[in-house]
Amino acid sequence: GAGVSQTPSNKVTEKGKYVELRCDPISGHTALYWYRQSLGQGPEFLIYFQGTGAADDSGLPNDRFFAVRPEGSVSTLKIQRTERGDSAVYLCASSDRAYGGDTQYFGPGTRLTVL
């Protein structure tokens, strides 16, 4: 079956602009996660959804970052007033339940470059 998909695969923007990154999880998966991976580092947690609600947004670095999942499926990560330090690969993952031992299935990521 189809895996997790993310669009766009690459996004180049200018400092100060607004961007949206989209994640389409595996059909039927109720849990959805966003991570950010900087060069040479492992992924860092941003936010996770259980259904439509954000169950834990403790990883969002500041209020410029926001994510939604209005119908419990597709999710959008929104970044306002982008900064050069936001440049990274943004990863989305989904799992069919939200418990710590469940396997998370990752998408290919969106590489964001802020000039």
Partner 1 sequence: AQSVTQLDSQVPVFEEAPVELRCNYSSSVSVYLFWYVQYPNQGLQLLLKYLSGSTLVESINGFEAEFNKSQTSFHLRKPSVHISDTAEYFCAVSDSSGSARQLTFGSGTQLTVLP
Contacts with partner 1 by CB under 8 A lie at 3-4, 31, 33, 35, 40-45, 48, 50, 55-56, 59, 91, 93, 98-109
32 HSE (CA, 13 A, CB side) = 31
**Euclidean distance between CA atoms 49 and 55, whole angstroms:** 5
* Nearer of residues 14 and 40 to partner 1, judged by Cβ: 40
**Euclidean distance between CA atoms 48 and 23, whole angstroms:** 12
User: What is the nearest approach in angstroms of partner 1 to the Cβ of residue 17?
Assistant: 26
* Nearer of residues 49 and 79 to partner 1, judged by Cβ: 49
User: What is the nearest approach in angstroms of partner 1 to the Cβ of residue 50?
Assistant: 8
Q: Is the dihedral of CA 42, 45, 46, 50 positive or negative?
A: positive
